[in-house]
Structures are given as structure tokens and as C-alpha cells.
């Protein structure tokens, strides 16, 4: 019997994502000027106010207010009527030095013996459902909001859009777990006031269905376009009005969109957030490493779907264990436990080696803080940072290294594929 599965996404203007982007901008700036920085910073945003808090050990000094304002401006909060605006919002910093008790468990005389920055378990997931090995419902939910943000910035076809938005996609699957059609699409987009409120919702619904949806469809492969039928149930701004939004509408906090950040409810999540954490925190680095493993296993043909779990004790380099679940889709004559043992031989999951393998001591995190940390494009870019004294620093970095399929050949050899 067919079944339905749903995933959601939120835009870069969603208050929780504003907080994530500020926290990750701070991480990038610290790493740009001191690669050994240890940072765990949280951000709170609300009406006209930003609060920065956390722990830092770094040789660099930053103008955190300027960094936060630059992020808010880039997102699009640039008008006073939003009640949260880049130039005028208050910014309070309560960032202080990292606890020595934690630091002594992480730093070691030999870098390769670096301990995990915390205990916990992290998960990575991949399936061959899409070209980027991500769950389809989440991939479409992200694409809707990425395109909506592009339309907002163009300010041509639709002129009333504001930065805050959410999407949700429900897909019907058959018994073989193949997508049949899109059942429901939910889009809630913040907007300007309308002169005639009665026509407001009608106009927004029409624009979302006749402008946004066709642009998203045009970017997809033919087999995915076929999922968009005339029977889709649309819920566009279902409350009827969405003028008050962003941090004025809801308080935003770092780390509250961890399912949007990962797999949209597919697979599993260990509970640890990513944004605002340097890569010594395995909540972040090991989650990227397990995604890298899962994606390379699926791409190599080990299974159609793979969930990877790794766990750590704080201050200990070797993981407590690695778990693999192929959900009955394995293509090799091995149990999931036997697959896990081979994975341990291929991928060194000690924190230092994860950092080195995935080049995580670079300022690569701002790009992860909206529209998902997984399934993104691996590319090399040049980024510019400014020190507190106005010093300009250009850094060439490789983004989303955990999305590379650079271990496929090693996996094939190990599994005899």
C-alpha cells in the first residue's frame, strides 16, 4: 500500500536560520585569522536585538557587531518596518573564554591524538533517491525556498516578498519506495502589507503556483517534473496573512533547525546542532564524516540506502563504535555489522583525521547555515575577511568536502565491487 512522507525547509530569513548564519559567520572569521580557534557560540535574535554568547579560545580578535550586522544585511533585513534591521538592531556580546576543563580533553601534544570535543552520537545518511543522494521531499523543500529567495532578490516578477519563509513537501511512495507523485506543497512566505487585503492571499497563491513552481520544475530532471501533477494540494500562507515575521515575529536561536539541516526526518539525528561550533566539536565534524561515508557507500553500490552512526566519549580520540543500517537494501553478501567493520578500516574516524580529510579547519561554514548542510555543491571559492584593524584577508577554500565521492574507488576495492 502506498504511503506519504513529508519534509520541511525554512528560508535564510527564518529567525532560527538568522541565528545560525550569525553563529557560523563568527566561526568563519575566527578560523580565517586563526585556524586553531576553538569556538562554541550561540545567537539569539528577537525584535530589534541580537544576543551573542559562547566560549572562544583564539589568537584573533573580531568586531563581532560588524560581522552580525553584515550577515543580517546580506539576508535582507534592511528596512525599519521589519522591526529587525541590520543598521539599527542592538547587539549584545557575552562571549567569553573556553573552559580549560574542556580544552585539556581536546588538545594533545600529538595532534593525531586530539580528543573528541564532547560525548554523543552522530548520524549520516544517503540514498540513491536523488542525484545528490538526499531524500527527495527535503531536496524539493530546499529548492522551493532557494528559488523563492532568488525571486525576492530579483525584485522583478514578485515585489512584495520579505525574507522569512517556510516550505513543506509531502510525497506519495509506492510499496517499492519509489515516488509516485507530490501530494501536498505548503509555502508560507512573509510579505509586505497590501492596500486591498482581500486580494492579498489570492495574489500570493497565484504567484507561488504560476511563477515559483514552474521555475523550480524547470530546474529538475524530466522524471521529477512528472511528480508535479494537477492534483497537488497547495497550502499557500494558510493563516491568511504573514506580514509580521523574522525575528520580530518569532525569537530565533542557534541550533533549532537540525532536521532541516540534515535529512528532513529520514535516517536519524543524534541531537547535536552544527552551527556555531568549530570542527573539534564532533557534533559537527563527525556528522559531516558520517554523511561522507554514507554517500560514498551508496555511490559505490554497497546499498541503495545507508545510515551510519558513530559515537564518542569526550576527550577520547577513538570512537566508541560505528553502526551501519542498510535498511535491507544491501547489494553485498555481508551483514550490516560486517559492513561496519570494513568502514572502520577505510575511514579513520578520530577527530583529527576527520578534520584533515574533510579540510574542516577552514572558513567554510557560513554557506552551510541555510538550506541544509548536506546534499550541497562541492566547489572551491575565494572568500574575503576583514580583521578588527581593517586588514583584508582573502582565503581560497573548498566548500562541502563531505559531499565528494572521493572514496568510491576505495570502497569498491574493499567490498569487491
Annotated binding site for ATP: 14, 164-166, 241-242, 250, 256-257, 273, 277
Binding-site positions for L-methionine: 55, 98, 250, 281
Separation between Cα atoms, residue 293 and residue 308, nearest integer Å:
7
What pairing do the DSSP bridges indicate for beta strands 179-191 and 305-312?
A: unpaired
Which residues are registered as beta bridge partners of 400?
A: none
Buried b (16+ CB within 10 A) or exposed e, 364-375: bbbbbbbbbbbb
Cα 143 off chain centre by? 13
Strand partners, 381: 397
The alpha-carbon radius of gyration of the chain (Å, integer) is 22
**Cβ contacts of 239 within 8 Å, gap of 6 or more:** 188
- SS3 (DSSP) at 189: strand
Binding site membership for Mg(2+): which residues? 16
Residues belonging to the binding site are 14, 16, 42, 55, 98, 164-166, 241-242, 250, 256-257, 273, 277, 281
DSSP state of 265: T
Give the alpha-carbon dihedral of 52, 57, 58, 61, to 10 degrees.
40
| Beta-ladder partners of 398 | 380
Other CB atoms within 10 Å distance of the CB of residue 279: 26
Enter the DSSP assignment of 218: H
DSSP notation for 36-99: T-EEEEEEEEETTEEEEEEEEE-S----HHHHHHHHHHHHT---GGGT--TTT-EEEEEEEEPP
Amino acid at each position: 500500500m502506498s504511503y506519504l512522507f513529508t519534509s520541511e525547509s525554512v528560508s535564510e530569513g527564518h529567525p532560527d536560520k538568522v541565528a545560525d548564519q550569525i553563529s557560523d559567520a563568527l566561526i568563519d572569521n575566527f578560523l580565517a585569522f586563526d585556524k586553531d580557534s576553538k569556538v562554541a557560540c550561540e545567537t539569539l535574535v528577537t525584535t530589534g536585538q541580537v544576543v551573542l554568547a559562547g566560549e572562544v579560545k583564539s589568537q584573533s580578535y573580531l568586531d563581532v557587531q560588524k560581522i552580525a550586522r553584515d550577515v543580517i544585511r546580506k539576508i535582507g533585513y534592511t528596512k525599519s518596518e521589519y522591526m529587525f534591521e541590520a543598521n539599527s538592531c542592538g547587539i549584545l556580546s557575552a562571549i567569553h573564554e573556553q573552559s580549560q576543563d574542556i580544552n585539556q580533553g581536546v588538545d594533545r601534544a600529538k595532534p593525531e591524538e586530539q580528543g573528541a570535543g564532547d560525548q554523543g552520537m552522530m548520524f549520516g545518511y544517503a540514498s540513491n533517491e536523488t542525484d545528490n543522494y538526499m531524500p527527495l521531499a527535503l531536496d524539493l523543500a530546499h529548492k522551493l525556498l532557494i528559488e523563492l529567495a532568488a525571486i525576492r532578490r530579483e525584485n522583478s516578477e514578485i515585489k512584495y516578498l520579505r525574507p522569512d519563509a517556510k516550505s513543506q513537501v509531502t510525497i506519495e511512495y509506492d510499496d517499492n519506495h519509489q515516488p509516485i507523485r507530490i501530494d501536498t506543497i505548503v509555502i508560507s512566505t512573509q510579505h509586505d502589507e497590501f492596500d486591498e487585503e482581500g486580494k492579498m492571499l489570492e495574489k500570493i497563491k497565484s504567484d507561488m503556483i504560476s511563477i515559483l513552481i514552474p521555475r523550480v520544475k524547470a530546474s529538475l530532471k524530466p522524471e521529477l517534473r512528472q511528480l508535479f501533477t494537477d492534483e497537488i494540494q497547495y497550502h499557500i500562507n494558510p493563516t491568511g496573512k504573514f506580514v509580521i515575521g523574522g525575528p520580530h515575529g518569532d525569537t530565533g536561536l542557534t541550533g533549532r533547525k537540525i532536521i532541516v539541516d540534515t535529512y528532513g526526518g529520514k535516517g536519524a539525528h543524534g541531537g547535536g546542532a552544527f552551527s556555531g561550533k568549530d570542527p573539534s566539536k564532533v557534533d559537527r565534524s563527525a556528522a559531516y564524516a558520517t554523511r561522507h561515508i554514507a554517500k560514498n557507500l551508496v555511490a559505490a553500490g554497497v546499498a541503495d540506502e545507508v545510515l551510519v552512526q558513530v559515537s564518542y566519549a569526550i576527550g577520547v580520540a577513538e570512537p566508541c563504535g560505528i553502526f551501519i543500517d542498510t535498511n535491507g537494501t544491501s547489494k553485498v553478501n555481508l551483514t550490516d555489522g560486517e559492513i561496519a567493520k570494513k568502514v572502520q578500516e577505510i575511514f579513520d574516524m578520530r577527530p583529527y583525521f576527520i578534520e584533515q580529510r574533510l579540510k574542516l579547519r577552514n572558513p567554510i561554514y557560513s554557506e552551510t547555515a541555510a538550506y541544509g548542510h548536506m546534499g550541497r555543491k562541492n566547489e572551491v571559492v575565494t572568500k574575503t575577511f576583514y580583521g578588527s584593524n581593517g586588514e583584508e584577508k582573502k582565503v581560497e577554500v573548498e566548500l562541502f568536502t563531505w559531499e565528494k565521492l572521493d572514496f568510491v574507488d576505495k570502497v569498491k576495492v574493499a567490498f569487491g565491487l
